[in-house]
């Protein structure tokens, strides 16, 4: 074609069709028909939106029950494995009796109602007790009948260095919450805070722990700190059985320990 037609905006498709040999009539028909790729894209859009909605529905409404089912399945599998692999171990002692075969260096089976020792092995030997210290910490703190709802501010000396703790300096927390951290999470900073805010102060609190041990007749028990971080905290299996029996009689302590 020698003369270039003057086309307005929107006629670019017609120019392309003419250049490859399509007649003007066919080009006009093609111009009036929506391009196939665009129609296909329009059809795909609703499916994409539906697929996206399905994903959102799954994540918000089905993920929690699914996680719960998976957790129950894992727990059941673990229970089956333990039932198959853990078998009570017994041995014959020097007197010919069948007794528990344990790996611990010291142990005791104690009846707190009758104070009867049903079985023991090295139960009077003194050794470091680590975090079992916190049972006496709770006993000594609660005997002063403190206000457990009073907010307490954690200071830097409580948390550094405390090894295991969920607390940070300047945290606001109640004594009741500290007792939960002490007896459930074995939080070392919680033990320090309770000792510090007690009527005795930190040093006086440790002295009171030792006085209480003497009052209970725990002859092999000594405390050097309220958390159990120091290896100088020592006791025996017999003393610890008696201490835990005493602590369990306190409803506040026993209710937390049952958790």
3-state SS class at 38 = helix
Within the chain, strands assigned E span: 90-92, 98-100, 107-111, 116-121, 127-128, 151-153, 172-174, 234-235
| Residue from 134, 212, 227, 235 carrying the catalytic annotation | 134
Q: Under a CB-based contact definition with an 8 Å cutoff, are residues 189 and 158 in contact?
A: yes
Of 123, 131, 235, 236, the catalytic one is 131
| Beta-carbon contacts of residue 207 (< 8 Å; ≥ 6 apart) | 200
| Catalytic residue flag (residue 186) | yes
d(CA 29, CA 218): 104
Q: Which one of the listed residues 12, 40, 123, 186 is annotated catalytic?
A: 186
Told to judge if 248 belongs to the known catalytic residues of this protein, a careful annotator would answer: no
The beta strands (E) that lie in 66-106 are given as: 90-92, 98-100
Which one, of 247, 26, 62, lies nearest residue 255 by Cα?
A: 247
* Token pair recorded at residue 206: 């440790």
Neighbours of 191 (CB within 10 A): 29
Cβ atoms < 10 Å from Cβ of 138: 22
Q: With beta carbons less than 8 A apart as the criterion, state whether 19 and 11 touch.
A: no
Q: Is 236 designated active site?
A: no
Catalytic residues: 131, 134, 186
């Amino acid at each position: 074609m020698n003369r270039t037609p003057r086309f307005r905006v929107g006629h670019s498709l017609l120019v392309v069709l003419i250049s490859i040999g399509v007649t003007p009539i066919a080009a006009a028909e093609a111009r009036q028909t929506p391009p196939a790729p665009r129609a296909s894209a329009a059809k795909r859009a609703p499916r994409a939106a539906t697929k996206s909605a399905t994903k959102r529905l799954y994540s918000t409404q089905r993920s929690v029950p699914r996680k719960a089912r998976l957790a129950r399945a894992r727990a059941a599998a673990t229970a089956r494995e333990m039932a198959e692999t853990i078998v009570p171990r017994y041995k014959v002692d020097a007197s010919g009796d069948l007794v528990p075969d344990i790996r611990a260096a010291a142990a005791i089976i104690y009846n707190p109602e009758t104070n009867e020792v049903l079985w023991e092995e090295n139960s009077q030997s003194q050794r470091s007790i680590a975090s079992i210290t916190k049972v006496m910490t709770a006993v000594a703190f609660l005997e002063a009948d403190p206000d457990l709802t009073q907010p307490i501010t954690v200071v830097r000396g409580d948390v550094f260095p405390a090894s295991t703790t969920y607390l940070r300096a300047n945290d606001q927390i109640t004594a009741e919450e500290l007792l939960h951290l002490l007896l459930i999470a074995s939080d070392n900073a919680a033990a320090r805070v309770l000792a510090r805010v007690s009527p005795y102060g930190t040093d006086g609190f440790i002295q009171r722990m030792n006085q209480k041990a003497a009052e209970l007749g725990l002859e092999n028990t000594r405390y050097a700190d309220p958390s159990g971080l120091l290896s100088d905290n020592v006791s025996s299996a017999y003393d610890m059985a008696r201490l835990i029996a005493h602590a369990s009689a306190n409803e506040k302590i026993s209710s937390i320990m049952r958790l």
